[in-house]
């Protein structure tokens, strides 16, 4: 999901945060898969970019084909693994603020994300393989209140033994509105190509809100509504971030 570079850039400093997500869906199967995703995040801002480390914990429950973490929550696979909980895959993400908005140019960020296989695949918490994503994010301020957002990227997905996962394209498009000095609202269409042949390409509608308690303390919330069988039926996230 793209973010607004103009809204995120700050003087070089640290940011720490955590959130909790609950995601559920049947993914075209007769049974539900439920996921709780609890990441702890440390971000270091620099003058021309930022670097983020995410340490997640996962609890997954399913009565049918199991779901695995790919660094982007869950994707259905043909597997007899079911419930599991514990450490997920650690994520490293670097962002470079490449272009500032001027004339007809939007803000452009280049993002690289590396998923490290720290999750236990025997507990169905990960694939046991390394993934790499490269993404371009675009943002354009329309006026003092409105901005447009988009992203396009590609992920190389590691294949665990016995699996043949597809690499996937990532894309999103949306808009944001600074409702007040404390509240920012955003809405997206967020999608990717399918990880497994025969599955629908996941497509979701995302709605987020950031509430600024003070310049350094913020609360985030996100609602996801799946638009096809490749995506979860619904997801809810709430989190908090503190800059120091």
Collapsed DSSP state (helix, strand, coil) of residue 18: strand
| Range(s) of the domain holding residue 111 | 5-243
DSSP state of 63: S
- pLDDT tens, position by position, 152-188: 999 999 988 877 889 999 999 999 999 999 999 999 9
Q: Of 24, 87, 100, give the one whose Cα is nearest residue 58.
A: 87
- What pLDDT was estimated at residue 131? 93
| Number of domains comprising the chain | 1
Q: Vertex 84, ends 83 and 90: CA angle to 5°?
A: 140
- pLDDT tens, position by position, 25-68: 887 777 788 889 999 999 999 999 999 999 999 998 877 655 55
DSSP per-residue letters across 140-187: EE-SSSEEEEEEEEEEEPPPPTT--PPPEEEEEEEEEEE-SSSEEEEE
Q: Of 197, 200, 207, 188, give the one whose Cα is nearest residue 232.
A: 200
Q: Of 115, 129, 119, give the one whose Cα is nearest residue 53.
A: 115
DSSP state of 5: H
Q: Higher model confidence: residue 211 or residue 3?
A: 211
Looking at residue 160, which CATH number applies to its domain? 2.40.128.130
Q: How many Å apart are CA 199 and CA 75, to the nearest integer?
A: 10
Q: Is the pTM of this model over 0.75?
A: yes
If you average pLDDT over residues 190-195, what whole number do you get? Answer: 92
**Selection from 4-13, 18-27, 178-187, 225-234 with the highest mean pLDDT:** 178-187
Compute the mean pLDDT over every residue in the chain, rounded to the nearest whole number.
88
**Position 230 confidence tier, pLDDT thresholds 50, 70, 90:** confident
Both structure tokens of 79: 């597997």
């Amino acid at each position: 999901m793209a973010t607004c570079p103009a809204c995120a850039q700050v003087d070089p400093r640290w940011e720490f945060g955590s959130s909790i997500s609950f995601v559920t869906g049947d993914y075209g199967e007769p049974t539900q898969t439920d996921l709780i995703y609890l990441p702890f995040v440390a971000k270091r801002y620099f003058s021309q970019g930022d670097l983020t480390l995410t340490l997640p914990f996962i609890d997954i429950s399913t009565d049918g084909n199991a779901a695995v973490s790919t660094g982007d929550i869950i994707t259905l696979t043909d597997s007899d693994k079911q419930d599991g909980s514990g450490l997920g895959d650690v994520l490293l993400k670097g962002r470079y603020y490449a272009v500032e908005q001027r004339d007809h140019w939007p803000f452009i960020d280049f993002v690289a994300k590396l998923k490290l296989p720290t999750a236990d695949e025997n507990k169905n918490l990960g694939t046991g393989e390394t993934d790499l994503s490269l993404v371009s994010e675009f943002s354009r301020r329309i006026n003092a209140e409105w901005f447009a957002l988009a992203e396009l990227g590609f992920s190389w997905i590691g294949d665990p033994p016995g699996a043949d996962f597809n690499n996937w394209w990532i894309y999103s498009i949306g808009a944001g509105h600074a409702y007040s000095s404390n509240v920012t609202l955003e809405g997206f269409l967020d999608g990717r190509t399918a990880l497994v042949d025969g599955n629908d390409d996941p497509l979701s509608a995302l709605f987020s809100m950031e509430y600024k308690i003070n310049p350094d303390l913020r609360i985030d919330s996100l609602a996801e509504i799946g638009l096809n069988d490749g995506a979860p039926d619904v997801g809810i996230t709430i989190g908090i971030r503190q800059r120091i």
